[in-house]
Amino acid sequence: MSDATSSRDTMAPIRRPRRWHIAVFLLPAFLVYSAVMILPLIETLRLSLFNTVDGEPAFVGLANFKVLFGDARWAADFWNALKNNVIFFIIHMLVQNPIGVALAAMLSIPKLRFAAFYRTAIFLPTLLSFVIVGFIWKLILSPIWGVSPYLMDLVGLKSFFSPWLGKPDTALIAVSLISVWQYVGIPMMLIYAALLNIPEEVIEAAECDGVTGWSQFWKIKLPLILPAIGIISILTFVGNFNAFDLVYTVQGALAGPDKSTDILGTLLYRTFFGFQLQLGDRSMGATIATVMFLIILAGVSLYLFVIQRRMRRYQF
Amino acid sequence: MSKARASLSRTTLVHLALIGYTLIAVFPVFLTLINSMKSRNAIFRNPMQLPTTETFDLVGYTTVLGQGDFASYFQNSFIVTVAAIALVLLFGAMAAFALSEYRFRGNTLMGLYLALGIMIPIRLGTVAILQGMVATGLVNTLTALILVYTAQGIPLAVFILSEFMRTVSDDLKNAGRIDGLSEYAIFFRLVLPLVRPAMATVAVFTMIPIWNDLWFPLILAPSEATKTVTLGSQLFIGQFVTNWNAVLAALSLAILPVLVLYLVFSRQLIRGITSGAVK
Amino acid sequence: MGSLQLKSVRKSFGPVDVLKGIDLDVKDGEFVIFVGPSGCGKSTLLRIIAGLEDATSGSITIDDQEVATVPPAKRGIAMVFQSYALYPHLNVKDNMGLGLKQAGTPKDEIDRRVAKASAMLSLEKYLTRRPAELSGGQRQRVAIGRAIVREPKLFLFDEPLSNLDAALRVNTRLEIARLHRELKATMIYVTHDQVEAMTLADKIVVLDAGVIQQVGSPMELYNRPANLFVAGFIGSPGMNFIDAGRLGVSDAKTIGVRPEHVALSRDAGTWQGKVVHVEHLGADTIVYLESEAIGTLTVRLFGEHHHAVGDVVFATPSADQTHRFDAVGQAIR
């Protein structure tokens, strides 16, 4: 290209008008997204480094985090909420995703009758709000109504019934299972879609090679849907560490009984807005939000840079 | 013969499992709906029974409709959801078009920037969002909610729509350019009509979390005049915990619109999820 | 009127130079075809002429007017696309009329031109149909009609036949040739199919690696290829290239001879070889020889001939139809 510059004016780069339309197309989304999402997020992260000292906002470095992790007033609540949140996530991974995969595997059996009906029905709870879901289950599990003991009596398990939501040692599991009940439709649908994407020829080739039934699922289909399982895992992770509504609806802002269902979302809410006698604390709220941000960021990075890189994506 | 029988018994097992799970999924909703139409005594005595002529009672509904301001809650939810979806679709599609159609410096960077919000929940910025809304006087307005939900919906919309816009034929857009259409006309008149199915998918994905959200209405717009249905029913049910008729009726009222919409659009919705989501 | 001049047109995408200085003159009424292997830059060049892509540098004039920064709609061109690119939501009539409507042409003028073009292409019956209700051939005719109604200075065709099946391709090729005769318009046509190029063009432009290899009439390219690339690209099966050293020729590096310019004999000839494969095409017979003296040789015989694999035969090139190339691949004249 060096010879181009040396010669006549026709060789000079052509000047052309600015393409303003690109900016016009991008601007509205960019402005709203930046102003309402990104800047507040950054501001929240910044606020976590400030606190009120003698009535004046002052830069305190990582002091807020030190308080959150170590101070007697905060640390117990925080570690409790974090522990509960981890349990909440583990229950989802162990219950929601395997059930979702199993349902999807059954639904994708070729020529299965009523498949569309099952699919539609099982996905229904996913569309309902946490508020509805929370209250419905609160009623059903309520010992006052007696629906659960009645149903358990039908299968001879009446003696096992107890007011799970009211007991500290079972409340978290119960709430997690309610959440699983609501969200199982999402992994089911994503896995179902991934299974439908496997070309028929591959399955037919497996049939010809004598790989059928269960071993076909384990040896052929499961490896091919691993990327989809990766996606649902990260979606579950982000959703779980950001959860709030269900616990708030079922157990209230205090996440009772005795904070046994307290997760980071409810802790953030109580900290930021206060409840009953405790006043809201903006700086500590921002600090908790920052911790949640870092946890989610770590999870997403792990997924994007480690899991997704290692995982083979198959081109059909 | 034996193989056929084995597969028959396998199919039966599959159906049993699916019916079992379908019951688990649908039963609680069904239970709520039937009991909302029964008298108080019947709710407790025979929760499993369909309402009969003797037990049929709409007292719950009359309480709800008499007490809570549900019509206005519905209106608020409706305005917020429709406005936010419209903005998400318009702004998202415009940005998606710019990213998928033009080569310019910073294209990839802009794409990544807009994609951040798919994974990072907007809730984490709540502390500063509330501050901003207070500063601009938008607290307790529907505008605040619309803005937040628009920002929340844009990342996924840009992501899905730009995937689809890449499939619109270049030749078609070029034919439009030769026929003298401006870039804006090419976007609005040629490309948008062709990505309508993807727009429907995005609309559904955007709608569900907005309609169901409790967090932002609770924080940004809890006043009586701006309450959404989700927040309204949450507070209402909280007040009437002991009035089972009213609680069940309020729940049913909150379920019904979603249920009706779902039954009408479930096919499109599921097609959208299965075709667009895992790409 | 419709003449086109390109002067040192260059195009690069980042560090990749796609076009490395193209100079070309197209006279009014000429049918010019750009051919070359895929990736040679021919489509990019056409899109630069249309204004759909910006040249990095250089000048483009249509009817002596510089158009390098003029938007496509104002260049007085019309384009027919490979994928037809019909507007799916408009019927045939509106598809053809949209460009004129955008330019503010009066309605009765639009109607007149659409009627004329659709008569020319026998599309009258389909004017109210949508593209989805037409067959592939009909869609391509609508796309051509859309170009005709604009009465452009230049018609641009971007591989217009490659989406059609073989039979339809021949028909549409004849149709385009007829249109060129009737309209007497300047046409620029891109294809990778040398048969289309040879049958339609007044002038063929052979491109490779972003450089024009040769410009000339179809027969010029066939009879007097300027270099090894053109010699190998035009003609099928491709020209035989023989290392000049093996023939004892010292003033050339490579000797080329077309398969149809070699005679076979069972008794005597220049090169002795063994038949390794025979293809019977009906009108032609293609014989592949392996010769110790010159390597592999492809021979095209007219009509039916019977040679068995393993037969020993003699091949003789027709003396005045061999081509000589120098060390850098340029033809020696």
Contact assignment for B212 to A131 by CB distance below 8 Å:
yes
Q: Do B171 and C83 touch (CB under 8 A)?
A: yes
pLDDT at B115 (0 to 100): 87
CA distance C105 to B177: 17
In a domain, A174, yes or no: yes
Interface of A with C (CB under 8 A): 1, 4, 7, 10-17
Q: Is residue C331 part of a domain?
A: no
Q: Is the pLDDT of residue A15 over 90?
A: no
Q: Do A48 and A172 belong to one domain? A: no
Domain of C318 in residue numbering reads as 239-325
User: From C51, which residue of chain B is nearest by alpha-carbon distance?
Assistant: B178
Rounded to a whole number of angstroms, the distance from the CA of B56 to the nearest CA of chain A is: 18
Q: With 50 as the cut, is the pLDDT of residue A8 above it?
A: no
Q: Mean pLDDT throughout C22-35?
A: 95
State both tokens at A38. Answer: 């990104």
Specify whether A162 is located in the same domain as A176.
yes
Q: Give the pLDDT band (50/70/90) at residue A206.
A: confident
What is the pLDDT, as a whole number, of residue A11?
56
C261-273: average pLDDT = 90
Residues A90, A216, single domain; the answer is: yes
Eight-state DSSP code of residue B38: B
* Chain A environment of B129 (Cβ under 8 Å): 36, 40
pLDDT at C165: 87
The residue ranking higher by pLDDT, C106 or A4, is: C106
Helix locations, chain C, DSSP H: 42-50, 92-103, 107-120, 136-149, 166-183, 194-200, 218-223, 228-233, 244-247
CATH code, B109: 1.10.3720.10
Least confident of A264-273, B54-63, B224-233, C3-12: B54-63
- Whether residue B248 is contained in a domain is answered as no
Mean pLDDT, residues A154-169 = 77
Cβ contact A16–C17 (<8 Å): no
Q: Which of B3, B15, B18 to mutate to test the interface with A (most CBs of A within 10 A)?
A: B18
Taking CB atoms and an 8 Å limit, are A12 and C57 in contact across chains?
A: yes
B139 & B81 share domain: yes
Q: Where is average pLDDT lowest: A193-202, C91-100, C134-143, C197-206?
A: A193-202
Residue of chain C with shortest Cα separation from A4? C57
Under an 8 A CB cutoff, do B171 and C50 touch?
no
Q: Is B173 inside a domain boundary?
A: yes
Would an 8 Å CB–CB cutoff place C98 in contact with chain B? yes
B222 within domain boundaries: yes
- Quick one: closest CA in A to C14, which residue? A1
Shortest Cα–Cα distance, B173 to chain C (Å)? 8
Residue C252 lies in a domain: yes
A37 and A111 both lie in a single domain: no
Regarding whether C204 and C299 lie in a shared domain, the answer is no
Given a contact cutoff of 8 angstroms between Cβ atoms, the answer to whether C75 and C147 are in contact is no
Considering the domain architecture, whether residues A42 and A143 belong to the same structural domain is answered as no
B68: which residues sit within 8 A by CB, 6+ positions away? B232, B233, B236, B250
Chain A interface test: which of C7, C53, C59 (most A C-beta within 10 Å): C59
Q: Same domain for A71 and A196? A: yes
Interface pTM, i.e. ipTM = 0.85
- Domain containing residue C295: CATH number: 2.40.50.140
Q: Can you tell me the distance from the alpha carbon of C75 to that of C96, in angstroms, rounded to the nearest whole number?
A: 18
C195 plus C68 within the same structural domain: yes
Q: Which of A255-259, A312-316, B229-233, B262-266 has the highest mean pLDDT?
A: B229-233
Domain assignment present for A290: yes
For residues C50-67, average pLDDT: 92
Of B207, B223, B239, the residue at which a domain comes to its end is: B239
Task: Look at A16 and C7 and tell me if their CB atoms are within 8 Å.
Answer: no
User: Residue A313: which pLDDT band, with cuts at 50, 70 and 90?
Assistant: low
pLDDT at A5: 40
Helix residue ranges per DSSP H, chain B: 2-35, 40-45, 59-67, 70-101, 107-119, 126-135, 142-165, 170-178, 183-185, 192-194, 196-212, 215-220, 229-239, 244-276
Domain finish residue from C201, C230, C259: C230
Nearest Cα of chain B lies from the Cα of A8 at a distance, in angstroms, of 28
Q: CA angle, C297 as apex, C276 and C283 as ends, to 5°?
A: 80
Confidence band (pLDDT; 50, 70, 90) for B4? low
User: Looking at chain B, which residue has its C-alpha nearest residue C96?
Assistant: B179
Residue indicated by tokens 């004016």: A9
Dist CA C95 CA C209 (whole Å): 36
Question: B103 and B186 share a domain?
Answer: yes
B143-161 pLDDT, tens digit per residue, is 999 999 999 999 999 988 9
Of the partner residues A37, A132, A227, the one whose CB lies closest to the CB of residue B125: A37
pLDDT per position as a tens digit, B73-108: 889 999 999 999 999 999 999 999 999 999 888 899
Clarify whether residues B88 and B194 are in a common domain: yes
Q: How many domains does chain C have?
A: 2
Supply the DSSP string of B155-187, one letter for each residue: HHHHHHHHHHHTTS-HHHHHHHHHTT--HHHII
Sheet (strand C57-62) strand order: C16-26, C4-13, C57-62, C65-66
Q: Are residues B6 and B144 in the same domain?
A: no
Q: Look at residue A7 and tell me if it is in a domain.
A: no
Average pLDDT over residues C157-181: 90
Domain at A253, CATH number: 1.10.3720.10
The per-residue pLDDT for range A214-251, each reduced to its tens digit, is 788 888 888 888 888 888 999 899 999 988 888 988 88
Pairwise CB contact (< 8 Å): B150 & A123: no
C166 and C314 share one domain: no
Q: Determine the pLDDT at residue A93.
A: 94
Q: What is the mean pLDDT of residues B256-272?
A: 78
Q: Do C102 and B172 touch (CB under 8 A)?
A: no
Question: In chain B, positions 122-151, which contact chain A (CB-CB < 8 Å)?
Answer: 122-129, 131-132, 147-148, 150-151
B276 lies in a domain? no
Residue appearing with tokens 């071993």: A215
Of C7, C12, C68, the CB nearest to A14: C68
Nearest CA-CA distance, residue A75 and chain B, Å: 20
Determine the longest span between alpha carbons in chain A, in angstroms: 96
Q: Is C19 a domain residue?
A: yes
Q: Is C330 contained in some domain?
A: no
> Do A243 and A282 fall within a single domain?
yes
Contacts of C69 in chain A (CB under 8 A): 14-17
Cβ pairs B/C, distance under 8 A: 57
Residue among B215, B220, B258 at smallest CA distance from A247: B215
Residues of chain C contacting residue A16, judged by C-beta atoms under 8 Å apart:
54, 69
Contact flag B172-C79 (C-beta cutoff 8 Å): no
pLDDT band at A72 (very low <50, low <70, confident <90, very high): confident
Same domain for C220 and C273, yes or no, is no
Same structural domain for residues A55 and A132? no
| Pairwise CB contact (< 8 Å): A136 & B148 | no
User: Contact C83/B169, CB-based, under 8 Å?
Assistant: yes
Same domain, B160 and B190: yes
Mean pLDDT of chain B: 86
Q: Residue C162's pLDDT is what?
A: 87
Q: Do B234 and A244 touch (CB under 8 A)?
A: no
Amino acid identity, residue B45?
R
Same-domain status, A211 and A295:
yes
Q: Are residues C186 and C300 in the same domain?
A: no
Cis before C218 (ω within 30): no
Tell me if A197 is assigned to some domain: yes
Question: Which residues does C327 contact at the CB level (< 8 Å), separation at least 6?
Answer: C253
Mean pLDDT is lowest, of B34-48, B116-130, C242-256, for B34-48
What are the pLDDT digits (tens) for C217-239? 999 999 999 999 999 999 889 99
Q: Which uninterrupted H or E stretch holds A100?
A: helix A97-107
* Whether residue C76 sits in one domain with residue C155: yes
Instruction: Clarify whether residues C70 and C172 are in a common domain.
Output: yes
- CA A91 to chain CA centroid, nearest Å: 13
Residue A11 located in a structural domain = no
Q: What is the pLDDT of residue A26?
A: 95
C267, C205: one domain? no
> Across chain C, where does the E strand assignment appear?
4-13, 16-26, 31-35, 57-62, 65-66, 77-80, 154-158, 186-191, 203-208, 211-216, 240-243, 254-257, 262-265, 271-280, 284-291, 295-302, 312-317, 322-325
- B30: containing domain: 2-60
CA A15 vs CA A18, B107, C56, C309: distances in Å: 9, 21, 9, 64
Residues of A whose CB is below 8 A from C58: 10-11, 14
Let me know whether A241 and A168 are in one domain.
yes
- Per the domain annotation, does A138 fall within a domain? yes
In chain A, which residues have their Cβ closer than 8 Å to the Cβ of B46?
none
Q: Which residues of chain B neighbour C54 with C-beta distances below 8 Å?
A: none
Task: Read off the pLDDT of residues B163-176 as tens digits, 9 standing for 90 and up.
Answer: 889 888 899 999 99
In a domain, A315, yes or no: no
- CA-based max dimension of chain C: 76
How many domains would you assign to chain A?
2
Asked if the structure places residue C332 within a domain, the reply is no
The helix/strand/coil state of C278 is strand
The number of folded domains in chain B is 2
The reply to whether C247 and C222 lie within a common domain is no
Q: Does residue B91 share a domain with residue B13?
A: no
Q: For residue A158, give its domain range.
A: 64-310
Q: Decide the pairing of beta strands C154-158 and C77-80.
A: parallel
Answer whether residue B32 is part of any domain.
Answer: yes
Using the Cβ of B33 and the Cβ atoms of chain A, whether some distance falls under 8 Å is answered with no
- Asked if the structure places residue B55 within a domain, the reply is yes
**Distance from chain centroid for Cα B125:** 21
CA distance A24 to chain C (A): 19
Residues of B in contact with A254 (CB under 8 A): none
For residue C266, give the DSSP letter: S
A176 and A207 share one domain: yes
Residues C89 and C206 in one domain: yes
Give the integer Cα–Cα distance in Å for A238 and A299: 8
Please, what is the average pLDDT of chain C? Answer: 92
Query: Which residue shows structure tokens 């972003």?
Result: C210
- Dist. CA A11–CA A3, nearest whole Å: 9
Backbone angles phi, psi at C10, to 5 degrees: -120, 150
Last residue of a domain, one of B60, B85, B110: B60
Residues C247, C99 share a domain = no
Residues A225 and A303 in one domain: yes
- Domain check: are B83 and B193 in the same one? yes
- Which residue on chain A is closest to C15 by alpha carbon? A1
Pick from C230, C256, C280: which residue ends a domain? Answer: C230
| For chain A, percent of residues with pLDDT exceeding 90 | 29
Structural domain includes residue B269: no
Task: Tell whether C68 lies on the interface with A, counting CB pairs under 8 A.
Answer: yes
For residues B205-222, give the mean pLDDT.
88
Residue in B171, B180, B194 closest to C99 by CB: B180
